Amino acid sequence: MAKQTPSSFPSSDVVFLDRGNGTSVLVHLHGATVLSWKCQGQEVLFLSEKAVFDNKKAIRGGIPVVFPNFGPWDLGPQHGFARTKRWQAETPARTDSAGNVVAEFVLQDDEATRAIWDFRFKVVYTVQVMEKTVTMNVAVNNLGSKDFDFTCLLHTYFRIPDISKTAVMGLQNTKYVDKVRDGEEVTEAREEIRIDENYDRVYMDTPSEIVVGKVADGSHSIIMQTMNFPDTVVWNPWADKAKAMSDFGDDEYSNMVCVEAGYVAHRVQLNTGQQFVCSQKLTFVPATQ
């Protein structure tokens, strides 16, 4: 079983946000990676059986935070350092008057980050668990005396029963860069995107609402709403790439799809003293009978 319960980890490594009635979120402080979102007892996120929890490697699954660079990076590791840094849980999780559970996680520059990216910053990541919805809010602050730019993304891995019965909807007529076809630029013609191959596309200037969901009965859907995340990356490694990844099971590609809200096609310019905020809201839509 993939480790998606708090008891699988030292208590100092994880924060458990329990909304009650089988609804909860589990966050690992390594990368502030959301490992699990259970809604009404149903796990929504994919976490690989082979994910490594050594507090070094990025966690394969859940929702890694990509900052300050999406993709290969001349200055540092692929997808930046945020997903492999230890974040601080700012305060204990709190419950508001509506019963929603909120926690904040903070990443600030240190010697190691400044050695590869010499800027003073503070990222505050706020996770809120509601009855059928979770929100993730990313606030990037430039605390230094130099302007900087960055890309960022929430690398959400959705757990799905069967990739052949899943569609991603809401991207029709948007342009994408196809990373597995030499960056070819194409306009998406389909209303229902089906995936049946190694798939790695950066959709640009996408609508603020995307649906990841069933095309057959018996499964839930997720509505993803975004703010200040203009792009959406859709990724599935498919069989050959899955085999080549040491922290991903050979057959797991059929049970996951990444739909990633990002600011990646252009860089965010953040001048000294400024703050940039972006967020995603995921809503669970139960299966229709």
- Residue 52 is a binding residue for ligand BG6 (CB under 6 A): no
Q: Which residue, 104 or 200, has its beta carbon nearer to ligand BG6? A: 200
Spatial separation of the C-alpha atoms in residues 125 and 127, rounded to whole Å: 7
Query: In 3D, which of 108, 143, 100 has the Cα closest to residue 124?
Result: 108
Please tell me the number of Cα atoms within 13 Å of 258 on its side-chain side.
Answer: 30
The C-alpha atoms of residue 48 and residue 42 are separated, in whole angstroms, by 17
Tokens at 132, concatenated: 């059928």
Write out the binding residues for ligand BG6, residues 171-190 only, by CB under 6 A: 179
CB of 46 to ligand BG6, least distance (A): 13
* By the rule CB under 6 A, 234 interacts with ligand BG6: no
Question: Of 104, 231, 252, 260, which lies in the binding site for ligand BG6, with binding defined by CB under 6 A?
Answer: 260
Secondary element (H or E) of residue 268: strand 256-270
Output the CA–CA distances (angstroms, integers) from residue 49 to 59, 62, 154, 252, 255, in the order listed. 11, 12, 21, 9, 12
Q: Does 200 bind ligand BG6 (CB under 6 A)?
A: yes
Q: Which is nearer to ligand BG6, 58 or 130 (CB)?
A: 58
Site string for ligand BG6, 78-117 (x = CB under 6 A): xx--------------------------------------
154 near ligand BG6 (CB under 6 A): no
Find the shortest distance in angstroms from Cβ 267 to ligand BG6: 16
199 belongs to the binding site for ligand BG6 (CB under 6 A): no
Which positions touch ligand BG6 (CB under 6 A)? 58, 78-79, 155, 179, 200, 233, 235, 260
